[in-house]
């Protein structure tokens, strides 16, 4: 028998007592990305009434998609490339259940463009051996041997990204494949970036591991996420179709998803959350609630508390930074450009750091004789690149494409751009201390749960965000699930 108050399958006397103390089965969810929507639908399915508040005019957050209608036809596009894969059967069933048959399967292909050549990513030993210039290759092996010998005597501590990678690959491969791209992406030196970033974004622990996995392919179910070769993607509408289906199901069940609702205050008293205020069409509206799941940036949440957080907590929130992103889209008068889902561009002389083509995710995302490219530019919010016009951004990107020899300027039919302020949480050397201090204060407020990529200041994948949302909902309903443990291990996330 399910719990009569929250609908959860657990119905022991202890559970019902906890549920009674929580004060009902209505909840507010802040943010309509994958974490917020998955939490909301989970609660709805357990009989809760839920109101989701989203500041943007559309659902999806970083996993949102858009459609542009032009004289050449319709084009679906995402906020940069997304591919959905997971080793969690429950999360896979959740996503597949929402999308049904409206999917296509794609064989993963990502590459790095370097030295005028393409390198497969993840790195493949044979491909690296064929493409690296001979002198670079010799230097890479000598450095690798040198670092292995050095590590026997005096191994450098894995206390930052640079040391972590050099300890495993040697200095030359670090410089070629990891250091330059990482500094370009984050805008800070690699010795100022936490080793956590390396542990979760570089799966191969050494050069020998690269060779072994190239020559002796892994078999069985325990395949690293790096080697996931197939993934699914919505046939039409982009990856954001998944979030749209979440919102449809929530509304169909009688709960609300309100877009254009920017939270301006989170209210709490006597150690318990009491509701939020949101600005909707210029009007402030208060929503009462004893249960709030927040997926907005935790740095913002800390500043929205109407009873201010302690000074040290606010200082930590202000210290935690995000890297921003500009997406420059180009509609082209040709059927396709490359077979890749995305291409990494580590060279510092290029402004673009990654290039993606949505038609390779689903052939139905663009007309048969046209395609759309997305060039990503990382920046800091409010800097000179963030404030560039579409024309200025087009000039930068077209220059990059010319150097790569991929397209001609005459092929560009239209260029437009989008911006995301909170793209990547920056894992600097002190981020854990500051994050933990802020989270500890948020967690001290009964009824307030912060989760998801933004809510936990954690760079994770789409399936992780869904898992966090589901666990947060279970936690709220008294099942004791620990949403903060999702994607917390030293495992590869790529």
DSSP letter for each residue of 326-342:
EEEEEEESSS-S-S-SE
- The per-residue pLDDT for 22 is 47
Could you tell me which of 494, 449, 491 has the C-alpha nearest to residue 472?
A: 449
The pLDDT tens digits for 180-200 are 999 999 999 999 999 988 876
What sign for the dihedral angle of Cα 377, 467, 301, 490? negative
The pLDDT tens digits for 153-177 are 999 999 999 999 999 889 998 998 8
The pLDDT tens digits for 312-344 are 999 999 999 999 999 999 999 999 999 999 999
DSSP string, 370-381: -EEEEEEEEE-T
Q: How many CB atoms lie within 10 A of CB 75?
A: 22
Q: Facing residues of 235 across strands?
A: none
Q: How many CB atoms lie within 10 A of CB 82?
A: 23
- The per-residue pLDDT for 8 is 53
3-state DSSP call for residue 57?
A: coil
Confidence of residue 85 (pLDDT cuts 50, 70, 90): confident
Task: Tell me the C-alpha distance between 424 and 436, whole Å.
Answer: 18
Confidence of residue 450 (pLDDT cuts 50, 70, 90): very high
Mean pLDDT, residues 387-391 taken together = 93
Degrees, nearest 5: CA angle 367-370-372: 100
- The per-residue pLDDT for 9 is 56
Taking 60 as the threshold, does the pLDDT of residue 50 lie above it? yes
Is the peptide bond prior to 178 cis by the omega test (within 30 degrees of 0)? no
3-state DSSP call for residue 294?
A: strand
Confidence of residue 123 (pLDDT cuts 50, 70, 90): confident
Taking 60 as the threshold, does the pLDDT of residue 397 lie above it? yes
Domains of the chain and CATH, by start:
13-57+245-320+429-485 (3.50.50.60), 65-108+322-425 (3.90.660.20), 121-227 (no CATH)
Which of the 8 DSSP states describes residue 179?
Answer: I
Could you tell me which of 342, 269, 265, 338 has the C-alpha nearest to residue 304?
A: 265
- The per-residue pLDDT for 204 is 53
């Amino acid at each position: 028998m399910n719990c009569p108050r929250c609908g959860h399958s657990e119905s022991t006397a202890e559970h019902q007592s906890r549920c009674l103390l929580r004060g009902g089965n209505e909840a507010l969810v802040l943010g309509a990305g994958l974490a917020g929507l998955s939490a909301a639908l989970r609660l709805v399915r357990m009989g809760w009434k839920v109101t989701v508040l989203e500041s943007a005019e559309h659902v999806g957050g970083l996993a949102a998609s858009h459609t542009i209608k032009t004289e050449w036809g319709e084009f679906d596009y995402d906020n940069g490339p997304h591919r959905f894969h997971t080793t969690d059967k429950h999360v896979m069933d959740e996503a597949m259940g929402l999308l049904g048959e409206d999917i296509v399967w794609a064989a993963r292909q990502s590459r790095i463009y370097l030295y005028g050549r393409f390198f497969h990513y993840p790195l493949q030993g044979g491909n690296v051996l064929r493409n690296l210039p001979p002198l670079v290759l010799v230097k890479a092996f000598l450095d690798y041997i040198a670092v292995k010998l050095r590590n026997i005597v005096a191994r450098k501590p894995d206390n930052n990204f640079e040391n972590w990678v050099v300890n495993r690959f040697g200095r030359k491969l670090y410089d070629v494949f990891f250091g330059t791209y990482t500094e370009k992406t984050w805008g800070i030196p690699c010795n100022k970036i936490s080793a956590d970033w390396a542990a979760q974004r570089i799966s191969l622990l050494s050069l020998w591991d690269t060779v072994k996995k190239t020559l002796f392919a892994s078999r069985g179910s325990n395949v690293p996420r790096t080697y996931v070769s197939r993934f699914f993607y919505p046939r039409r509408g982009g990856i954001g179709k998944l979030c749209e289906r979440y919102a449809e199901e929530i509304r169909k069940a009688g709960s609300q998803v309100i877009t254009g609702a920017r939270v301006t205050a989170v209210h709490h008293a006597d150690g318990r959350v009491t509701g939020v205020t949101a600005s909707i069409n210029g009007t402030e509206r208060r929503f009462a609630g004893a249960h709030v799941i927040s997926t907005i940036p935790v740095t913002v949440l800390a500043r929205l508390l109407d009873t201010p957080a302690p000074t040290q907590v606010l200082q930590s929130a202000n210290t935690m930074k995000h890297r921003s992103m500009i997406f420059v889209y180009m509609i082209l008068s040709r059927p396709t450009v490359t077979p890749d889902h995305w291409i990494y561009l580590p060279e510092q002389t290029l402004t673009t750091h990654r290039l993606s083509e949505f038609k390779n995710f689903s052939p139905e995302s663009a007309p048969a004789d046209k395609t759309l490219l997305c060039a990503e530019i990382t920046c800091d919010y409010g800097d000179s690149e963030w404030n560039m016009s579409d024309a200025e951004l087009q000039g930068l990107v077209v220059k990059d494409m010319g150097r790569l020899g991929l397209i001609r300027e005459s092929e560009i039919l239209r260029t437009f751009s989008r911006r995301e302020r909170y793209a990547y949480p920056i894992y600097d050397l002190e981020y854990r201390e500051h994050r933990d201090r802020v989270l500890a204060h948020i967690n001290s407020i009964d009824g307030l749960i912060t989760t998801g990529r933004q809510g936990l200041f954690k760079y994770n994948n789409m399936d992780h965000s869904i898992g966090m949302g589901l666990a947060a909902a279970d936690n709220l309903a008294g099942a004791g699930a620990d949403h903060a443990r999702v994607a917390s291990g030293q495992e590869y996330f790529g």
